Amino acid sequence: MLRTIRATRKQFVAGIHTTPQPDRNPKLPPGKLFINNEWVDASSGQTFTVKNPTNEQVVTELALGDRGDVDMAVAAAKEAFKLRSEWRTMDASHRGYLINKLADFMTRDMSHLTSLEVLECGKPYLATLRGDIQWAIKSFRHFAGYADKNNGVTASVDGNFIAYSRSEPVGVVGSICAWNFATLILSWKLAQLLAAGCTTVVKPSQYSSLATLHVGELIKEAGFPPGVVNIVTGPGKIGSAIVDHNDVDCITFTGSTPVGRDIYRKGSQNMKRLVLELGGKSPNIILRDANVDKAVEHAHFASFHNMGQCCCAGSRTFVHESMYDEFLEKIKHRIAKKKIGDPFDLDVDHGPQMTKEQADIVMRYIEQGKKEGATCEVGGNRIDRPGYFVQPTLFTNVKDNMTIAKEEIFGPVMQLFSYKTIEEVIERANDTEFGLASSVFGSNIDEINTLVQAIRAGSVWVNCYFMITPQAPFGGFKMSGIGREGSSHGMQAFLEMKSVYVKTPTKNS
């Protein structure tokens, strides 16, 4: 086994420099629910359809869970969390070993996981392999090292007492995941809660369940005890049932702000611990001293990565007036160079929107932008081919109060603005209900530091974009959510702190 683990870790390092070929017809995981380390049918016997967004063809049918299945999954997680269960009595270092072992198997199946995401999500293969999947593996490896480091502290207290604190797992966690980065978002939740010693019921998006179900297979293969991780597939009502369940102690959710607001209201009724990573309308600020060519590439990635389906997409691009005209011509040229097509092709960097519904939403925003007087410089239409393809789109002459400037579009639509001063762009950047991410591109350190401190967002990326690593916390201000994922800050949602006082003998006792 040790030889196998070393081999797979070497494969991971090698995989950074080589490209495993995609599998257009990957072996699909069982189309069932994963409960107690077993594959079971939904209690209703019903299924739902998974479609390929690239060609609109049916990929498979998956079990359609309901509230009864959630009850069964929560009961399994609760049993696995019992005081003298295998999971609770396991050495913390061994929990870390199992998490690392899961990462080893994900490394082995890296191309397979990627192919599953491309098949059901339409994500470009190379970007998913080199980005999502490898970062998911890194997340598990990072938090594997945390498993035996959830230490309390001793305290110097008045009187004849020894006082210390214990850091204990919160209990059963409901993990509700989004569809846009299925495996990566799953890793942000599982890695931390498993390291903390919790158990979980996972609800993947109904649009991106295949890779998550394969991770369920790897959970069992790695040797996690039954009930530690359970997966219930189906629509949004599954998430509601998890949130409402009295035996679920914590909810970690990634998704839209309206759904997050509903979870906040319901979860607060029985004091569940909550981590909500929600929507955004992130500003991307190009300083007057920026290299224009590099700034264009930076802004292009910020707006169009994953077809704009990123909660932290830097779609509000603010360019200093001194370079605005040059920037506009170059960004139009850069967008025109995008290779749109079958995401399994290695030279394609832009695939379809995830669902027909999402493509329709994006098109409604584009039409609204035109109606309100913004100028569509590039794109603005559906692509005439099978699948849910929308042209990468650029708007100019956008006013800050226009719908496309205020609301999260979640699609490939960039809004380009001109600004004069740092004070002006700070006010406009912060003029949003969201506060998830932001970016500054340039070299003037004084202006950069001013913006870093002034922008009200959970992340400020300087001369880079979409850097989310397990070593640093990620989350939002304002309506972009509460709590953090990643780092020791992210661990806190899955831990309870207990204080212990021990009376010591005195001379007269």
Q: Is residue 61 within 8 Å of 49, Cβ to Cβ?
A: yes
DSSP structure class, residue 383: -
Please say if the pLDDT value at position 376 is more than 90. Answer: yes
Per-residue model confidence as pLDDT tens digits over 458-487: 999 999 999 999 999 999 999 999 999 999
Per-residue model confidence as pLDDT tens digits over 55-94: 999 999 999 999 999 999 999 999 999 999 999 999 999 9
The CATH code of domain 283-462 reads: 3.40.309.10
Annotated catalytic residue: which of 117, 277, 377, 485?
A: 277
Per mean pLDDT, which range of 9-23, 252-266, 459-473 is the poorest? 9-23
User: CATH for 2-278, among 3.40.50.720, 3.40.50.1820, 3.40.1390.10, 3.40.605.10?
Assistant: 3.40.605.10
Region 48-56: what's the mean pLDDT?
97
3-state secondary structure of 327: helix
Delimit the domains of the chain by residue range: 2-278, 283-462
3-state secondary structure of 381: coil
Q: Is residue 392 within 8 Å of 379, Cβ to Cβ?
A: yes
Over pLDDT 70: what percentage of the chain? 96
Which H or E run contains 210? helix 210-222
| Residue 17 pLDDT class (50, 70, 90 cuts) | low
Please tell me the predicted confidence (pLDDT) of residue 19: 78
Residue 168, token pair as written in the block: 């204990």
The residue assigned the tokens 């009961």 is 75
Per-residue model confidence as pLDDT tens digits over 127-157: 999 999 999 999 999 999 999 999 999 999 9
Beta bridge partners of 61: 49
Per-residue model confidence as pLDDT tens digits over 194-227: 999 999 999 999 999 999 999 999 999 999 999 9
Q: Is 61 a catalytic residue?
A: no
Please say if the pLDDT value at position 8 is more than 70. Answer: no
Which H or E run contains 395? strand 393-396
Residue 336, token pair as written in the block: 């025109």
3-state secondary structure of 205: coil
Q: pTM for the full model?
A: 0.94
